């Protein structure tokens, strides 16, 4: 694998995107602490994005509004405008691509580019040109942070390290020294659970992680992601894996009398089991699962959960339980859930699963996998869901009519 000696990648992330778009469009919000909320006048909801002024008071994204008000009594709560953010996203992309070709759009407010050989000597100047163009042509209240490094992973970390309004260069000559000040949680992809796993194996610091062997990282992650991360952190030009199958997902519009959390949860179980069934048939394991709900009035709730590279019903359904615990906290009182979707992703070949020495779950996992295989055989034989783990309660008339296929990454709006 190639190890670049120059800056080759750029990662750009808008700061407090929704809030800064609101400030750009509505002058009375400029310079004020602003929190964007999914619902108007809701009591039990959270701030989904906040302005830098609100952040200075300790308000964070995805913070309960009561807590946000406690930390910042003057906070102005603004109801989200998904269509405005979508338009801002498109306009910003066209301005950026007038300066540099965009390699990949990662989300509504993140993207990555290749830095051309001519720009590699002075990437900061490139960043200043991008920022000036955005300020001149769109407005001076939209800020972004940009990171530059040998590969995309490091550029993303540099971008985060430079926030807000950053323009951070991590030159290969200065690596991996610059990483040593960071914690494991500063690495995109390492959440609380993964951090706990690593701790159990005596990996507590960035230095510990960097000293780990790539094959061991593969074992720790349960799939090739860990090994790829090792190469990325060590400055190699890690290419995205050949995209075969991306994900397995199902989404449904709920019938009018089935728009409560209870019915939506029952529906999500069915959809997830169906997606897992298709995934197993094709020989994949999932490393992650998404759940999203669209509510009446253009709001959404989104959760995701890490999975230890699995394909059996018990594993995906227990992750779904955990996500629902979180979803309930984010829902307003008496929500009307219009549409629901689940997606299994971060797929790896089922035949390549490593023994999960950390979770020590292999024996139990295999038992659940055998159980699931037996259930599949029975259901296939009868051509319907005869056996399932837990309740199986389709709404009257099934889901016909409201069927929506999600064979693509859901729109960024789906996550709000
Ligand atoms: Mg952002």
Distance CA 329, CA 326 (A): 5
**Rounded distance from Cα 109 to ligand 1 centre (Å):** 5
**Rounded distance from Cα 268 to ligand 1 centre (Å):** 29
Per-residue pLDDT of the chain (416 residues), as tens digits, is 899 999 999 999 999 999 999 999 999 999 999 999 876 665 667 888 899 999 999 999 878 889 999 999 999 999 888 778 888 988 999 899 999 999 887 778 899 999 999 999 999 999 999 999 999 999 999 999 999 999 999 999 999 999 999 999 999 999 999 999 999 999 988 888 889 999 999 999 999 999 999 999 988 988 788 999 999 999 999 876 554 557 888 888 888 888 999 999 999 999 999 899 988 988 899 988 999 898 887 778 888 888 888 899 999 999 999 999 988 888 888 899 988 999 998 888 877 665 544 455 667 778 888 888 888 888 887 777 778 888 777 765 454 333 333 333 333 323 32
**Rounded distance from Cα 374 to ligand 1 centre (Å):** 45
**Rounded distance from Cα 41 to ligand 1 centre (Å):** 25
Q: What sign has the CA pseudo-torsion 31, 35, 40, 44?
A: negative
**Rounded distance from Cα 96 to ligand 1 centre (Å):** 16
Pairing assessment for the beta strands 348-349 and 284-295 based on DSSP bridges = antiparallel
Same fold, 17-84 and 248-415: no
Cβ proximity of 15 and 163 under 8 Å: yes
Cβ proximity of 155 and 188 under 8 Å: no
**Which strand ranges, in their side-by-side order, compose the sheet holding 167-169?**
104-107, 110-114, 9-14, 144-149, 167-169
Q: What angle do CA 284, 157, 346 make, to 5 degrees?
A: 5
The H or E element that residue 177 is part of is none
> Which residues surround the ion ligand 1 when the cut-off is CB under 5 Å?
13-14, 17, 109
Provide the pLDDT for residue 404.
35
For domain 17-84, the CATH architecture is: 3-Layer(aba) Sandwich (3.40)
For the whole model, what pTM was predicted? 0.65
**Rounded distance from Cα 326 to ligand 1 centre (Å):** 22
Q: Which pair of tokens denotes residue 373? A: 């295989």
Top CATH class of 248-415 equals alpha beta
- Domain boundary assignment for the chain: 17-84, 186-241, 248-415
**Rounded distance from Cα 342 to ligand 1 centre (Å):** 24
**Rounded distance from Cα 14 to ligand 1 centre (Å):** 4
**Rounded distance from Cα 388 to ligand 1 centre (Å):** 41
Instruction: List CB contacts of 68: < 8 A, sequence separation 6 or more.
Output: 35, 46, 47, 50, 54, 59, 75
**Rounded distance from Cα 99 to ligand 1 centre (Å):** 20
**Rounded distance from Cα 336 to ligand 1 centre (Å):** 29
**Rounded distance from Cα 13 to ligand 1 centre (Å):** 5
pLDDT digits (tens, 9 = 90+) for 28-84: 999 999 999 876 665 667 888 899 999 999 999 878 889 999 999 999 999 888 778
**Rounded distance from Cα 143 to ligand 1 centre (Å):** 9
């Amino acid at each position: 694998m190639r190890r670049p000696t120059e800056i080759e990648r750029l990662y750009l992330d808008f700061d407090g995107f929704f809030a800064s778009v609101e400030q750009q469009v509505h002058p009375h919000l400029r310079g004020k602490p602003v929190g964007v909320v999914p619902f108007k006048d809701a009591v039990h909801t959270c701030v989904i994005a906040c302005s830098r002024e609100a952040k200075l008071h300790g308000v964070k994204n995805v913070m309960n509004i009561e807590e946000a008000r406690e930390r910042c009594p003057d906070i102005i709560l603004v109801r989200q405008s998904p269509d405005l953010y979508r338009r801002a996203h498109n306009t910003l992309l066209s301005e950026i691509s007038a300066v540099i070709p965009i390699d990949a759009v990662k989300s509504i407010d993140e993207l990555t580019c290749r830095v051309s050989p001519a720009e590699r000597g002075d990437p900061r100047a490139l960043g200043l040109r991008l920022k000036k163009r955005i300020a001149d042509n769109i407005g001076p209240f939209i800020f972004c942070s940009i990171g530059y490094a040998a590969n995309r992973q490091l550029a993303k970390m540099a971008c985060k390290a430079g926030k807000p309004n950053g323009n951070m260069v991590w030159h290969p000559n200065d690596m991996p020294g610059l990483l040593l000040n960071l914690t494991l949680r500063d690495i995109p992809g390492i959440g609380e659970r993964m951090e706990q796993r690593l701790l159990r194996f005596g990996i507590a610091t960035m230095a510990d992680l960097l000293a780990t062997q790539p094959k061991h990282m593969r074992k720790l992650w349960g799939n090739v992601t860990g090994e790829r991360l090792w190469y990325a952190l060590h400055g190699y030009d890690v290419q995205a894996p050949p995209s075969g199958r991306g994900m397995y997902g199902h989404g449904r519009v709920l019938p009018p009398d089935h728009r409560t959390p209870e019915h939506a949860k029952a529906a999500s179980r069915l959809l997830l089991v169906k997606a897992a069934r298709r995934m197993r048939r094709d020989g994949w394991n999932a490393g992650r699962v998404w759940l999203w709900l669209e509510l009446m009035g253009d709001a959404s709730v989104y959760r995701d959960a890490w999975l230890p590279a699995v394909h059996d019903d018990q594993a995906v359904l227990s992750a779904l339980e955990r996500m629902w615990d979180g979803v309930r906290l984010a829902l307003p009182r008496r929500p009307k859930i219009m549409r629901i979707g689940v997606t299994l992703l971060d797929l790896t070949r089922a035949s390549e699963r490593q023994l999960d020495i950390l979770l020590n779950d292999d024996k139990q996992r295999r038992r659940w996998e055998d159980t699931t295989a037996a259930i599949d055989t029975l259901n296939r034989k009868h051509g319907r869901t005869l056996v399932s783990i837990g309740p199986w309660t389709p709404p009257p008339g099934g889901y016909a009519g409201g069927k929506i296929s999600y064979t693509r990454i859901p729109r960024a709006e789906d996550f709000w």
